[in-house]
Each structure stands twice: as C-alpha cells, then as structure tokens.
Amino acid sequence: MSSVSWPAAATSTAEYLEIVPIGRQHIAGYHAALDGIAKERRYLAMLEAPSFLRTRRFVLDSLRTGAVHVVAVAADGVVGWCDLRPKAAPTLRHTAVLGMGIVAAYRGRGIGSRLLADTLELAWAQGIRRSELIVRADNLPAIALYRRFGFVTEGTCRKYLCVDGHDIDALLMARLGG
Ligand SMILES: CC(C)(COP(=O)(O)OP(=O)(O)OC[C@H]1O[C@@H](n2cnc3c(N)ncnc32)[C@H](O)[C@@H]1OP(=O)(O)O)[C@@H](O)C(=O)NCCC(=O)NCCS
C-alpha cells in the first residue's frame, strides 16, 4: 500500500517513488509542489500557494480532522499529492473533497493514478462514502483520470473561474463508494 516503494513507470529508468501519508517532513516539499502547479495558472483555483505557515497549519489541521493526504516522493522530493478532506457539518461527514496535483516533469507516468487509488482506499476505510471535486472543464487529463476512477459529472458550474479576464466553466464530479 502507501508505504511501499514502486516503479514510477515501466521504463528503463531505475527511478522509484514512494507513496506515503504526508508527514511534517513533507510539508515544505508539498508547499513547493502546490506553488509550482498553481503558478501554471491552468489547473487550480489558486494562482500561487498560500504562505508556508498557512499551508503547514492547513495540513496539520486537516490531518487532525481525519483528512487523507498522501504524497509521492521521488529522489528530489515531493512530486505530487492527493488529499480528501471530509466536510465539517454533521450531515456531510461521509463526503470529502478531493484535490491533487503532479509536478509537470512527472506527469503521464501513472503517479496520479497511484495516488488516487491509495487515497480512495484509505478514505473508504475511514468511512468516506462520497468523494467530490470541482475541475476546470478544460482540464481534459484530469477529467479523464477521474472518469477512469468512477467519478461522474453531476453538473457544470458555469463561469466558475475567471483567469486573466477569461471566464472558465468547471465540472462538479463525484464518486460514491470505496
Ligand atoms: C491530472 C493529473 C493529476 C494526472 O496525473 P498523472 O500522473 O499525469 O496521470 P497518470 O499518468 O496516472 O494517467 C492517468 C490517466 O489520466 C489521464 N491522462 C493523463 N495525462 C493525460 C493527457 N495528457 N491527456 C489525456 N488524458 C490524460 C488518462 O486517463 C490516464 O490514463 P491512461 O494512461 O490509462 O490513458 C496531472 O496531469 C496533474 O497534476 N495535472 C495538473 C494539476 C491538476 O490538474 N490537478 C487536478 C485539479 S482538479
């Protein structure tokens, strides 16, 4: 499961990654990965990461409240993450909100699939029965990944984001069960 090393891809490289629950030692790397992907301006709602201190508090708080948060760690540090944060209201605690990202150089090697599989398995074991997310409608790789894992589009959030003056639709997607 999450704690074992695994080949990043069936390639000739001897590169190995580890998929592990996030720990304090990963927070700086997670923050850098989040910041880099946000600054691509094509995928996330945020356009840069929150400050390191806010990110650290967010990670530690969400772990205390039962979130699942795993990271992919390569030789040069954190290269991706996936997190599922349960909602707070008593009627919504079986529902969790998903976020994920892989730094650009590591995309397309199966890391996102592996992170998502491990995250969903851990969340199911913790009683999460509905996983949901909002994804930009133009983020075709992410939408394909989510569909492959059984996420279904429940609706379109019209003009949900505005980036550099352009309004962009987003999809609400959700997956029931483990
Ligand atoms: C979306 C993302 C997490 C996928 O991670 P990844 O490690 O590149 O994905 P994988 O290599 O595991 O590929 C899994 C599936 O994703 C889809 N996919 C990945 N790259 C794709 C591409 N360039 N075009 C179309 N589909 C793609 C495919 O369905 C693929 O399955 P397949 O290889 O059997 O066809 C990654 O592209 C990413 O971090 N993007 C930027 C951040 C982001 O979009 N986060 C999600 C915000 S909601």
Task: Please report, for the chain, the start and end positions of each structural domain, with discontinuous segments joined by +.
Answer: 5-131
* Band of pLDDT at residue 16, cut at 50, 70 and 90: confident
Q: Which atom of ligand 1 has the smallest separation from the CA of 140?
A: 25
Rounded CA separation 60/109 (Å): 29
- Taking the model in full, what pTM does it have? 0.92
Give per-residue pLDDT as tens, 32-85. Answer: 999 999 999 999 999 999 999 999 999 998 888 889 999 999 998 999 999 999
For a ligand 1 pocket test, name from 35, 107, 132, 163 the mutation site with the most ligand atoms within 8 angstroms of its C-beta.
Answer: 107
CA-based nearest residue to 74, from 48, 105, 119:
105
Rounded CA separation 46/26 (Å): 20
Q: For residue 17, list its beta bridge partners.
A: 6
Give per-residue pLDDT as tens, 25-46. Answer: 999 999 999 999 999 999 999 9
* Interacting residues of 135 by C-beta distance below 8 A, sequence separation 6+: 142, 143, 146, 170, 171, 173
Q: What is the CATH number of domain 5-131?
A: 3.40.630.30
Tell me if 46 CB under 6 Å of ligand 1. no
